[in-house]
Structure 1
């Protein structure tokens, strides 16, 4: 049994805490809102994010960072990408010297466009070889029902990855290890761009052919970025790549897909984000993808067109037309650039 704190009481943080509690660990969820703390401690629910789904009765919630983090063996970060650095600054004084740091956030830091493990390593430099990323196709709405789910944990240190694997793995939550931290983080983040684009295309009624094309060509864009940043190409045909891409682009549970669909129906980005009431990481990640495209001089036509729709007011139908009217090229030649 390990003493674990989960920072972030959203749907994903709560569900991962539930998995760990199912595995017999002593788990505390840190949350800001008094209502959430009361629901978790007294009713074993998190209504705002998981409805009436029952949580493990041994789960506890706490509003005090010092109490929640001090003395814990494992720190699991499940906060939005834009909040990661500030959270690390706050908890650093309380993190145990031997603690394992796991993060389950899919995105980039704004402006610097750094991956989450890079942000963690900057704020917690003494824990560099004890940082692990968890990613893969895993909708919280299904994991809370204990539906079969597979994910991957990645770390530069094999021992740390295996520790995380042992913490999470059980009969419904299968965990693989991978040494490619860069690839796992890139795949987990950039697939949200393609999910937004897929939701938009579905909303326009373009059907299965368009969805398949977006997912396939989107994977090529993800691979090109990953290769430029030092990822292992094989990672993108694994759980954090094509696996997460399929799950996010085809599911009613995907916030990014739903946001893209809503925009296709004529709603503004501001309206969509206000109505969702949850973080849609793909919006911020589209900014990051656009910046990385320019930094590395990479061909990312889907990202380019989605950026124009989200932030420049481009008509979605015109964006699709521009994608389809690009100059002729060879598929394998383009794939070779990415792989």
Structure 2
């Protein structure tokens, strides 16, 4: 008997079945500009050149990290794709870009069509929330490299912005600017190696443990998808002059806020103004974690930080409240080289 590809652990038929399952999920993400269909060698997107005087493409790529381990343990895969979209789209929004399209890459030890379809369902839902079309992707079955029940997930987003409207904090943020913030939905998709060490090694908890303080089990809390900020940020950039934006990801407030600041300016943050979710205070308590370590690892309740002139901050806050978006005023830009000063 001759060997087949399937004998090595790769099932081509399962791949064909996956494509059948995900086609309707992908179709729901399509928007103006998509001119290709699933099954080609590449995705095609036509730019509306009349909409922009000097169009600039903006790209971002990211993965989900070890948050995937939580999905594996719970065997729940329909939200993790939304995290992947969020991590890419939120980054390009920081430049003032409108998301256009997204591509994903899934590699796994054993291709189970239904599981892959669940992952892509999350990606598609994230694309709908992010306003971008899912125009391509790849699923790779890699026995021997991954365990059968494991996979990795990465994504790539492209957006567009007029060159004269690019948001560049290093050029535009000034002393005296107000610092506003949009809340996170929870831990998002960063720091999960630390989260897992605290929960599993320090406390010996399992993901099904119900936590009274948060009103749910740990698995449900930790799998909350990363919030996607397309609606509030695109609305803000169309109505107001936004001087700079930071997406608070790995490295927390200490690392990400200075990425938008010019030299010689510091963000003076009053953390008492942040509505920090209970999960963060619990992680700090359970792991006996220093305050600075928390703020340099997790978002601590802040998903996006942005900078505006002091004289328009109230109008900006009113606009966000009117579209039912929560916003905190958390500080002011001052002279200094510290990058971030957190006042507790």
Task: With the length of structure 1 as denominator, give the TM-score of the two structures.
Answer: 0.27
Higher relative contact order (CA 8 A, sep 6+): 2
Rg comparison, structure with higher value: 2
Higher helix share: 1
Higher strand share: 2
Task: With the length of structure 2 as denominator, give the TM-score of the two structures.
Answer: 0.26
